[in-house]
Structure 1
Amino acid sequence: MKKLFISAFLCLITLLMSSLCQAQISYVYSLSGNFQSTHSDAPDLIQLPNNDGLMGEFVSRVVPETTCGQMGNADGYFFEDDAGLQFNNPEGFIDQSYSVAFNFQIDEFITPPPWVRILSFTHIDDVGVYIKLTNPPNNGTLEFWPFGTVGETDFFSPTDFYQIILVRNEVGLIKIFVNGTEFAEYDDSETQSYVPQNPDNFIIWFKDDPSVLADEASPGFVSDIVLADFPWTTQQVADKWDEFCSDLLSIEEQEFSDWEISPNPSQDIINISQPSNLISEIEIMDIFGKICMSSKVRQNNTRMDVASLNVGIYFVRIKTKDGKVGVKKFIKN
């Protein structure tokens, strides 16, 4: 009996170790000139044409200052009106739990119909992530169909670039994050609508099949698609949002390493220091690019009182005397 118990215990330990050591895999598609992933086993993304046979092309497009606090250029894929991309899910990759992240811009918010499809797992029904055109042609609101609009009303515009992250855990709980902020959470354990569907087993960006509702998409831009076969933690989501501007604008992080914000997070006072250049101007912007505070200075170190700011995520932009610009994230708590 003792030997049987030991044998069963060893089997259990083996199973637990096997589960713990199972590799977590991520496929990264930068979309800079090709549809390939940095992972050698990942399938290429597939172009989906619209009803006129148009698909898209690789481009470099201007990113407005309101997106990242500085103008720049983003490399990625332009998709035509009602065209898109498809990921064919390999056997054993994405199942019940996963993470999907991508950066994008929608070029126009024109009705009818009053939606723009962003992400779905099937061509045969309406279930998916949309932008509902709540103030066309200027603004839209995230919609988790059929669960209604979520997050801030009129959050999206056809001017700025955005990051969406979808995380589904093992029990079917889904969270959707936009620009690092959680917009919605709901239980998909029974409906199973937000997992790749048999027999097609794919994920679709932007394209809306005419069998559902024709023209429920708009032209736009997408880059930096990441698919992982495990649910990201809140810290991993935050880290990905931290990388948004550097990924989008292909900026090396070391370009911003010679100035500091401290403490960060902060409730009241922040110190901004730049040892090698005189700071000429400081601006603090919210996630929409709106300037909340600004200051003209002529020194290497300065203090700013941020107690009046609401709790949340902000960007601090500094301009130096020699014309250089740097942007870093700041958290007000």
Structure 2
Amino acid sequence: MKKITFLFVLLTISLGFSQSNLENFEGAAPATNFFDDNGGGQINVIANPDTANAINTSATSLEIITNASGNAWQGAQLILQNDIMDLTTNATVTVDVYSNNPTDILAKVVPGSGGSGSDSATDASHGGTGWETLSFDFTMPRDGTGAANGSYQNIIFYPLWNTVGGTCTSGCYSPYGTPGVSAMETIVIDNITAVAAAPAETCSDGILNNGETQVDCGGPNCDACPNPPSGPPTTPPNRAANDVVSIYGNAYAQAPTDGFQTFGSAVVSEIDFSGNTILSVTTPDNGSGLQYQYFGTTPQFLDLSAMTNMHIDFYFEGSPAAVGTVFIVIAQYSDGTNIQKNFDVTALASNTWHEMDVAFAAFDGNPGYPRDEIQQVIVQVAGDDGAQVGPFYLDNLYFHNNTLGVEEFETSSFRVYPNPTKGEWNILSNSNISNVSVYDILGKLVMSKQPNLNQVSVDATSLNSGVYFAKVEGVNGSTTVKLIKE
């Protein structure tokens, strides 16, 4: 057992300092620039000049051509966009270099915007035999720099360096190290390999960088980018005015309120979809949310005594919620008692609308309490970790009396039979039925069908006995019917 543990530790350490190919020029090329070249240097992504060799068989490489009219110390700089070099422990960078002429090359690493070390330069020699793998050891600094001591985003290649391994005080660049006296040199590089370090935090710099999919968001390092709904949820069914009390939404007239508040640092705004508005809510703190108040309206309280159900549509952006988060809706009674329903949303799909329609009898707190003196309707988030991840969106928060029973339903344009049933319900309509969604009493969708016919059969054999609600949609709108499974 001790031997196994010891080997595991060694393997872990070895992997921790392993090198990665940070740039192979096969995808999008990194940002580059040539300097001190008098405008004539070239950096080009080209086809591999020799794919028959045993060192580098990749399809594309980077060509660097110096300008004979530029300064001898002209250089080509590459800015790594994703992984950057960590030279704190292993300070060696290997590069495949192609040249048909013997040449010396100076490489210099610079921290750039994503690194943290001091500039460091070192050199290596190429034998002029085509592709060769050169090792640049930055513990052996050159050109007046110190040893590498951190992380680096930029690497610069100086093809006209001419003093590998020596102490250079002047004439370090061919042919003479004199300004304006240079030479024409072509090298091709590929497969820049070093220990990779995670880029520094750039998620608030206002720049699209380090793999971000949008400025300061997305990619491997930043929070997910905003992904709000592309439209509102399904329009609620037509209901008589005395069968619904609307808190928020465009489908029904909203009940008069004498106040709207946020709490716990919540931020609320509206998004307008051609006149159909929804609420966008950000809740950075545990228990934060919003509330509608009914203290001074006429009548003073919100009377929900004739209502049987509460309805809410919500949409979570990104991850639905932090682990353990519960989405809570509360109706606070005039004596301070909460009539409360909790929704555990951690397992729900993100970036889609969820429709919850729940009977008061299924509420978690005080389900049988009188509902004739409601002073506040509250929506909040509570979680084990104390934080909500990502904004969420609300629409169609209302209470209703689910009056579409069997008798009323059969006299309308829809008819359902048998109801109750032990096997299946048959739904008939005078017009095309486009969608049927069946929910249990807790508002959970248990099945849906898209018949596009005037008649549809709904198999209830797999359902437990109890009450269900079917939302039937067609060309003339939608309606909800109560179904009973025996």
**TM > 0.5 fold call:** no
TM-score (norm 2): 0.33
- Flag the structure with higher helix content: 1
* Higher Rg of the two aligned structures: 2
Per the normalisation by structure 1, the TM-score is 0.44
